[in-house]
Amino acid sequence: MKDKVNEIRISYTERIPSPFWQKISSSKDAAQMLFEHWDKQTIQVHESFKIVLLNNNNKVKGIYQLSKGGLTGTLVDLRILFAVVLKSLSVAIILTHNHPSGTLKASEADRLITQKIKKAAELLDIKVLDHLIIVPDGNYYSFADEGIL
In a domain, 148, yes or no: no
The CA distance from 35 to 118, in Å, is: 23
> Is 1 a domain residue?
no
Distance between CA atoms of 19 and 101, rounded to whole angstroms? 37
Query: 96: domain range?
Result: 40-142
Q: How far apart (Å, rounded) are the C-alpha atoms in residues 35 and 76?
A: 20
* pLDDT single digits (tens) 96-147: 999 999 999 999 999 999 999 999 999 999 999 999 999 999 999 999 999 9
CATH of the domain at 98: 3.40.140.10
**In the chain, which ranges are continuous DSSP H helix?**
27-37, 78-87, 108-123
Whether 108 maps to a domain, the answer reads yes
Side-chain half-sphere CA neighbours of 76 within 13 A: 22
Q: Within a domain: residue 25?
A: no
In a domain, 77, yes or no: yes
Specify whether the CB–CB gap between 58 and 18 falls below 8 A: no
123 in a domain, yes or no? yes
Task: Tell me whether residue 74 is in a domain.
Answer: yes
pLDDT tens profile 49-88: 999 999 999 999 999 999 888 777 788 999 999 999 999 9
* Total domains present in the chain: 1
